[in-house]
Protein backbone atom coordinates (compact mmCIF):
# COMPACT_ATOMS: atom_id res chain seq x y z
CA UNK A 1 0.00 0.00 0.00
CA UNK A 2 1.91 3.10 1.19
CA UNK A 3 3.38 2.14 4.56
CA UNK A 4 6.84 3.40 3.64
CA UNK A 5 5.58 6.77 2.41
CA UNK A 6 6.81 9.62 4.64
CA UNK A 7 3.36 11.25 4.48
CA UNK A 8 1.32 8.25 5.67
CA UNK A 9 0.16 10.19 8.75
CA UNK A 10 -1.33 12.97 6.60
CA UNK A 11 -3.14 10.43 4.41
CA UNK A 12 -4.62 8.50 7.33
CA UNK A 13 -5.59 11.75 9.10
CA UNK A 14 -7.46 12.88 5.95
CA UNK A 15 -9.48 9.66 5.82
CA UNK A 16 -10.08 9.81 9.58
CA UNK A 17 -11.44 13.39 9.32
CA UNK A 18 -13.69 12.33 6.44
CA UNK A 19 -15.06 9.20 8.14
CA UNK A 20 -15.57 10.92 11.52
CA UNK A 21 -17.29 14.00 10.03
CA UNK A 22 -19.63 12.01 7.78
CA UNK A 23 -20.23 9.51 10.61
CA UNK A 24 -21.27 12.35 12.94
CA UNK A 25 -23.69 13.75 10.33
CA UNK A 26 -25.20 10.31 9.64
CA UNK A 27 -25.43 9.58 13.38
CA UNK A 28 -27.12 12.93 14.04
CA UNK A 29 -29.68 12.21 11.29
CA UNK A 30 -30.47 8.77 12.76
CA UNK A 31 -30.84 10.17 16.31
CA UNK A 32 -32.94 13.09 15.03
CA UNK A 33 -35.28 10.64 13.23
CA UNK A 34 -35.78 8.62 16.41
CA UNK A 35 -36.41 11.82 18.40
CA UNK A 36 -39.05 13.13 16.00
CA UNK A 37 -40.78 9.74 15.77
CA UNK A 38 -40.88 9.51 19.59
CA UNK A 39 -42.33 13.04 19.85
CA UNK A 40 -44.99 12.25 17.25
CA UNK A 41 -45.90 9.03 19.04
CA UNK A 42 -46.12 10.90 22.37
CA UNK A 43 -48.41 13.58 20.93
CA UNK A 44 -50.63 10.96 19.27
CA UNK A 45 -50.80 9.05 22.55
CA UNK A 46 -52.04 12.26 24.22
CA UNK A 47 -54.83 12.39 21.65
CA UNK A 48 -53.42 15.31 19.67
CA UNK A 49 -54.28 15.04 15.99
CA UNK A 50 -53.15 17.08 13.04
CA UNK A 51 -55.70 19.58 11.75
CA UNK A 52 -55.71 17.68 8.49
CA UNK A 53 -54.18 14.38 7.55
CA UNK A 54 -54.98 14.85 3.92
CA UNK A 55 -51.38 15.71 3.11
CA UNK A 56 -50.05 18.49 0.94
CA UNK A 57 -49.52 20.83 3.87
CA UNK A 58 -46.31 20.33 5.83
CA UNK A 59 -47.74 21.80 8.99
CA UNK A 60 -50.97 19.87 8.73
CA UNK B 1 -42.94 13.28 -15.22
CA UNK B 2 -45.18 16.19 -14.31
CA UNK B 3 -47.47 13.80 -12.50
CA UNK B 4 -44.52 12.39 -10.54
CA UNK B 5 -43.40 15.87 -9.49
CA UNK B 6 -46.94 16.72 -8.37
CA UNK B 7 -46.99 13.53 -6.32
CA UNK B 8 -43.65 14.42 -4.74
CA UNK B 9 -45.04 17.79 -3.66
CA UNK B 10 -47.23 15.89 -1.24
CA UNK B 11 -45.14 15.33 1.94
CA UNK B 12 -47.04 12.18 2.90
CA UNK B 13 -46.33 10.56 -0.48
CA UNK B 14 -42.77 11.87 -0.32
CA UNK B 15 -42.28 10.18 3.06
CA UNK B 16 -43.59 6.89 1.64
CA UNK B 17 -41.20 7.17 -1.31
CA UNK B 18 -38.25 7.94 0.98
CA UNK B 19 -39.09 4.97 3.22
CA UNK B 20 -38.94 2.68 0.15
CA UNK B 21 -35.83 4.25 -1.40
CA UNK B 22 -33.57 4.75 1.65
CA UNK B 23 -32.58 1.10 2.28
CA UNK B 24 -31.60 0.66 -1.39
CA UNK B 25 -29.71 3.95 -1.46
CA UNK B 26 -27.88 3.14 1.78
CA UNK B 27 -26.89 -0.30 0.44
CA UNK B 28 -25.71 1.16 -2.89
CA UNK B 29 -23.72 3.82 -1.00
CA UNK B 30 -22.03 1.20 1.20
CA UNK B 31 -21.07 -0.97 -1.79
CA UNK B 32 -19.72 1.85 -3.98
CA UNK B 33 -17.94 3.45 -0.98
CA UNK B 34 -16.22 0.13 -0.20
CA UNK B 35 -15.05 -0.11 -3.85
CA UNK B 36 -13.90 3.54 -3.75
CA UNK B 37 -11.85 3.00 -0.57
CA UNK B 38 -10.35 -0.21 -2.01
CA UNK B 39 -9.32 1.59 -5.20
CA UNK B 40 -7.98 4.54 -3.19
CA UNK B 41 -5.75 2.43 -0.97
CA UNK B 42 -4.91 -0.59 -3.17
CA UNK B 43 -5.92 0.17 -6.78
CA UNK B 44 -4.33 3.58 -7.25
CA UNK B 45 -0.65 4.01 -7.99
CA UNK B 46 1.37 6.70 -6.26
CA UNK B 47 1.56 9.91 -8.30
CA UNK B 48 4.94 10.66 -9.89
CA UNK B 49 5.07 14.06 -8.16
CA UNK B 50 2.76 13.82 -5.12
CA UNK B 51 3.65 10.25 -4.17
CA UNK B 52 1.00 8.57 -2.00
CA UNK B 53 -0.55 11.89 -0.92
CA UNK B 54 -2.55 11.66 -4.17
CA UNK B 55 -4.81 9.33 -2.12
CA UNK B 56 -5.98 12.39 -0.17
CA UNK B 57 -7.45 13.66 -3.47
CA UNK B 58 -9.95 10.79 -3.48
CA UNK B 59 -11.74 12.34 -0.49
CA UNK B 60 -10.76 15.99 -1.02
CA UNK B 61 -11.97 16.45 -4.61
CA UNK B 62 -15.40 14.71 -4.27
CA UNK B 63 -16.00 16.73 -1.07
CA UNK B 64 -15.16 19.94 -2.93
CA UNK B 65 -17.52 19.04 -5.78
CA UNK B 66 -20.34 18.17 -3.38
CA UNK B 67 -19.83 21.35 -1.35
CA UNK B 68 -20.62 23.29 -4.54
CA UNK B 69 -23.33 20.92 -5.78
CA UNK B 70 -25.11 21.06 -2.42
CA UNK B 71 -25.15 24.87 -2.43
CA UNK B 72 -26.40 24.91 -6.05
CA UNK B 73 -29.20 22.54 -5.01
CA UNK B 74 -30.07 24.87 -2.11
CA UNK B 75 -30.15 27.81 -4.53
CA UNK B 76 -32.53 25.93 -6.86
CA UNK B 77 -34.69 25.03 -3.85
CA UNK B 78 -34.66 28.70 -2.77
CA UNK B 79 -36.16 29.67 -6.12
CA UNK B 80 -38.78 26.98 -5.50
CA UNK B 81 -39.49 28.54 -2.09
CA UNK B 82 -39.72 32.15 -3.25
CA UNK B 83 -41.35 31.74 -6.68
CA UNK B 84 -43.52 28.61 -6.53
CA UNK B 85 -43.76 28.14 -2.75
CA UNK B 86 -43.24 24.43 -3.31
CA UNK B 87 -44.00 22.69 0.00
CA UNK B 88 -40.79 20.66 -0.08
CA UNK B 89 -38.40 23.32 -1.43
CA UNK B 90 -37.62 24.91 1.93
CA UNK B 91 -37.46 21.48 3.57
CA UNK B 92 -34.90 20.43 0.95
CA UNK B 93 -32.75 23.54 1.41
CA UNK B 94 -32.78 23.39 5.21
CA UNK B 95 -31.98 19.66 5.26
CA UNK B 96 -29.10 20.11 2.80
CA UNK B 97 -27.26 22.87 4.72
CA UNK B 98 -25.57 20.78 7.46
CA UNK B 99 -24.58 18.13 4.92
CA UNK B 100 -23.09 20.79 2.63
CA UNK B 101 -21.26 22.28 5.61
CA UNK B 102 -19.81 18.84 6.44
CA UNK B 103 -18.50 18.32 2.89
CA UNK B 104 -17.06 21.85 2.84
CA UNK B 105 -15.31 21.23 6.18
CA UNK B 106 -13.89 17.93 4.87
CA UNK B 107 -12.70 19.70 1.72
CA UNK B 108 -10.89 22.37 3.76
CA UNK B 109 -9.46 19.94 6.35
CA UNK B 110 -8.18 17.39 3.82
CA UNK B 111 -6.85 20.19 1.61
CA UNK B 112 -4.91 21.48 4.60
CA UNK B 113 -3.59 17.98 5.35
CA UNK B 114 -2.45 17.70 1.72
CA UNK B 115 -1.04 21.23 1.62
CA UNK B 116 1.30 20.78 4.59
CA UNK B 117 3.50 18.08 2.96
CA UNK B 118 3.05 19.32 -0.65
CA UNK B 119 3.06 23.13 -0.33
CA UNK B 120 4.84 23.35 3.00
CA UNK B 121 1.92 25.16 4.65
CA UNK B 122 -1.37 24.24 6.32
CA UNK B 123 -3.15 27.32 4.99
CA UNK B 124 -2.68 30.28 2.70
CA UNK B 125 -5.09 33.14 1.95
CA UNK B 126 -5.25 32.17 -1.70
CA UNK B 127 -8.45 32.95 -3.68
CA UNK B 128 -9.64 29.32 -3.95
CA UNK B 129 -9.06 28.51 -0.28
CA UNK B 130 -10.54 31.78 0.96
CA UNK B 131 -13.68 31.52 -1.21
CA UNK B 132 -14.16 27.92 -0.04
CA UNK B 133 -13.86 29.11 3.59
CA UNK B 134 -16.51 31.75 2.84
CA UNK B 135 -18.75 28.93 1.54
CA UNK B 136 -18.40 27.16 4.90
CA UNK B 137 -19.31 30.40 6.71
CA UNK B 138 -22.34 30.80 4.40
CA UNK B 139 -23.55 27.30 5.31
CA UNK B 140 -23.07 27.98 9.04
CA UNK B 141 -24.81 31.38 8.75
CA UNK B 142 -27.80 29.83 6.98
CA UNK B 143 -28.05 27.08 9.62
CA UNK B 144 -27.99 29.77 12.33
CA UNK B 145 -30.70 31.76 10.51
CA UNK B 146 -33.03 28.75 10.30
CA UNK B 147 -32.57 28.18 14.04
CA UNK B 148 -32.99 31.85 14.96
CA UNK B 149 -36.49 32.26 13.49
CA UNK B 150 -39.25 30.17 15.09
CA UNK B 151 -41.73 30.20 12.22
CA UNK B 152 -40.46 27.78 9.53
CA UNK B 153 -42.18 29.74 6.74
CA UNK B 154 -40.56 33.06 7.64
CA UNK B 155 -37.20 31.41 8.31
CA UNK B 156 -37.40 29.62 4.97
CA UNK B 157 -38.07 32.79 2.96
CA UNK B 158 -35.29 34.73 4.72
CA UNK B 159 -32.85 31.84 4.21
CA UNK B 160 -33.88 31.55 0.54
CA UNK B 161 -33.00 35.20 -0.10
CA UNK B 162 -29.66 34.86 1.70
CA UNK B 163 -28.91 31.60 -0.16
CA UNK B 164 -29.52 33.26 -3.54
CA UNK B 165 -27.27 36.21 -2.59
CA UNK B 166 -24.58 33.69 -1.65
CA UNK B 167 -24.63 32.02 -5.08
CA UNK B 168 -22.28 34.79 -6.26
CA UNK B 169 -19.58 32.81 -4.41
CA UNK B 170 -20.02 29.67 -6.58
CA UNK B 171 -18.46 31.00 -9.82
CA UNK B 172 -15.81 32.74 -7.72
CA UNK B 173 -14.81 29.38 -6.19
CA UNK B 174 -14.90 27.58 -9.55
CA UNK B 175 -12.99 30.19 -11.58
CA UNK B 176 -10.77 31.64 -8.83
CA UNK B 177 -7.88 29.48 -10.06
CA UNK B 178 -8.25 31.02 -13.57
CA UNK B 179 -8.99 34.63 -12.59
CA UNK B 180 -6.20 35.01 -10.04
CA UNK B 181 -2.70 33.70 -9.58
CA UNK B 182 -3.35 31.06 -6.92
CA UNK B 183 -1.22 28.45 -5.19
CA UNK B 184 -4.12 26.05 -5.71
CA UNK B 185 -3.74 24.24 -9.03
CA UNK B 186 -6.23 24.91 -11.87
CA UNK B 187 -9.00 22.48 -12.85
CA UNK B 188 -7.74 19.11 -14.04
CA UNK B 189 -10.97 17.11 -14.54
CA UNK B 190 -13.73 19.44 -15.78
CA UNK B 191 -11.88 21.16 -18.65
CA UNK B 192 -12.94 21.99 -22.18
CA UNK B 193 -9.98 19.99 -23.53
CA UNK B 194 -10.71 16.97 -21.30
CA UNK B 195 -9.17 15.72 -18.05
CA UNK B 196 -5.40 15.99 -17.66
CA UNK B 197 -5.24 13.16 -15.12
CA UNK B 198 -3.99 9.67 -16.01
CA UNK B 199 -6.83 7.08 -16.14
CA UNK B 200 -5.19 5.05 -13.33
CA UNK B 201 -5.86 7.99 -10.99
CA UNK B 202 -8.97 9.40 -12.71
CA UNK B 203 -10.91 6.12 -12.35
CA UNK B 204 -10.60 5.88 -8.51
CA UNK B 205 -11.43 9.59 -8.33
CA UNK B 206 -14.65 9.20 -10.34
CA UNK B 207 -15.69 6.09 -8.36
CA UNK B 208 -15.14 8.06 -5.13
CA UNK B 209 -17.21 10.92 -6.57
CA UNK B 210 -20.08 8.52 -7.32
CA UNK B 211 -19.84 7.05 -3.79
CA UNK B 212 -19.88 10.51 -2.16
CA UNK B 213 -22.80 11.60 -4.35
CA UNK B 214 -24.81 8.51 -3.37
CA UNK B 215 -24.02 9.25 0.28
CA UNK B 216 -25.16 12.85 -0.16
CA UNK B 217 -28.48 11.77 -1.73
CA UNK B 218 -29.04 9.22 1.06
CA UNK B 219 -28.27 11.69 3.85
CA UNK B 220 -30.28 14.47 2.21
CA UNK B 221 -33.45 12.37 1.78
CA UNK B 222 -33.15 11.12 5.38
CA UNK B 223 -32.66 14.69 6.66
CA UNK B 224 -35.66 15.89 4.61
CA UNK B 225 -37.79 13.16 6.20
CA UNK B 226 -36.68 14.36 9.66
CA UNK B 227 -37.53 17.97 8.80
CA UNK B 228 -41.05 17.03 7.63
CA UNK B 229 -41.60 15.09 10.86
CA UNK B 230 -40.21 18.04 12.90
CA UNK B 231 -42.76 20.39 11.30
CA UNK B 232 -45.58 17.96 12.00
CA UNK B 233 -44.48 17.76 15.65
CA UNK B 234 -44.43 21.57 15.84
CA UNK B 235 -47.92 21.84 14.32
CA UNK B 236 -49.28 19.22 16.73
CA UNK B 237 -47.60 20.91 19.71
CA UNK B 238 -49.35 24.16 18.75
CA UNK B 239 -52.71 22.35 18.54
CA UNK B 240 -52.03 20.80 21.96
CA UNK B 241 -51.03 24.19 23.43
CA UNK B 242 -54.24 25.82 22.13
CA UNK B 243 -56.30 22.95 23.55
CA UNK B 244 -54.67 23.26 26.96
CA UNK B 245 -55.00 27.08 27.05
CA UNK B 246 -57.41 28.26 29.80
CA UNK B 247 -60.80 29.46 28.52
CA UNK B 248 -60.71 33.19 27.77
CA UNK B 249 -56.91 33.37 27.57
CA UNK B 250 -55.71 35.13 24.44
CA UNK B 251 -52.73 33.83 22.50
CA UNK B 252 -49.59 35.97 22.65
CA UNK B 253 -49.51 38.27 19.59
CA UNK B 254 -47.18 36.96 16.93
CA UNK B 255 -47.22 33.42 18.29
String of DSSP letters for chain A: --TT-TTHHHHHHHHHHHHHHHHHHHHHHHHHHHHHHHHHHHHHHTT---S--SSS-TT-
With a CB cutoff of 8 Å and minimum separation 6, the contacts of B24 are none
Interface test with B, best of A29, A32, A34, A46 (most B CBs within 10 A): A29
Per-residue pLDDT at B191 exceeds 80: no
Residue B209 in domain = yes
Residue B162 in domain = yes
Residue B238 in domain = no
Residue B159 in domain = yes
Nearest to B113 among A14, A21, A26 (CB): A14
The pLDDT-based confidence of A53 (bands split at 50, 70, 90) is: low
Bridge partners of residue B51, in order along the sequence:
B47
Helix, strand, or coil (residue B188): coil
With a CB cutoff of 8 Å and minimum separation 6, the contacts of B168 are none
Integer Cα distance of B167 and B139 in angstroms: 11
- Identify the pLDDT of residue A59: 47
Integer Cα distance of B151 and B146 in angstroms: 9
- Identify the pLDDT of residue B5: 59
**Is B9 within 8 Å of chain A by CB?**
yes
**Is B21 within 8 Å of chain A by CB?**
no
- Identify the pLDDT of residue A5: 79
Bridge partners of residue B132, in order along the sequence:
none
Chain B residues in contact with A40 (beta carbon < 8 A): 229, 232-233, 236
Cβ contact, residue pair A43, B240, below 8 Å: yes
Q: The domain containing residue B82 runs over which residues?
A: 20-184+193-231
Cβ contact, residue pair A25, B226, below 8 Å: no
- Compute the nearest-CA separation of A27 from chain B (Å): 10
Do B231 and B152 touch, CB atoms closer than 8 A?
yes
Integer Cα distance of B60 and B58 in angstroms: 6
The 3-class secondary structure across B102-169, one letter per residue, is HHHHHHHHHHHHHHHHHHCCCCCCCHHHHHHHHHHHHHHHHHHHHHHCCCHHHHHHHHHHHHHHHCCH
Residue B212 in domain = yes
**Is A20 within 8 Å of chain B by CB?**
no
Alpha-carbon separation of residue B234 from B21, B23, B103, B241 (angstroms): 26, 27, 29, 10
Cβ contact, residue pair A8, B52, below 8 Å: yes
- Compute the nearest-CA separation of B10 from chain A (Å): 4
Nearest alpha-carbon partner for B27 in B240, B175, B214:
B214
Per-residue pLDDT at A3 exceeds 70: no
Closest chain B residue to A27, measured at CA: B219
Chain A residues in contact with B13 (beta carbon < 8 A): 55
Per-residue pLDDT at A8 exceeds 60: yes
Cβ contact, residue pair B52, A11, below 8 Å: yes
Cβ contact, residue pair A33, B116, below 8 Å: no
Section B129-144 average pLDDT:
97
- Identify the pLDDT of residue B85: 86
- Identify the pLDDT of residue B82: 95
Residue B151 in domain = yes
Residue B44 in domain = yes
Per-residue pLDDT at A2 exceeds 70: no
A26-29: long-range contacts at Cβ-Cβ below 8 A with a sequence spacing of 24 or more? A26/B219, A28/B98, A29/B219, A29/B222, A29/B223, A29/B226
Domain count, chain B: 1
Integer Cα distance of B130 and A24 in angstroms: 25
Helix, strand, or coil (residue B200): helix
| Interface TM-score (ipTM) > 0.85 | yes
**Is B6 within 8 Å of chain A by CB?**
no
Per-residue pLDDT at B194 exceeds 70: yes
- Identify the pLDDT of residue B21: 96
Amino acid sequence: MFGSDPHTGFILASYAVTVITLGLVAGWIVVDHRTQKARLADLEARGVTRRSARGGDLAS
Amino acid sequence: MGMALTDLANPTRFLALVARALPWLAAATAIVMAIAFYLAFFGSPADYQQGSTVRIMYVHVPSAWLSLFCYALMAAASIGTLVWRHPLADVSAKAAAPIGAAFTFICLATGSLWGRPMWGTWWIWDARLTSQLILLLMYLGLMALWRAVDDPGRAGRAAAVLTLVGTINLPIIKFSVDWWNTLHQPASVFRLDGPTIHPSILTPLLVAAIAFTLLFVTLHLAAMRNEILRRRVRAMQMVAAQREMPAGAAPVPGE
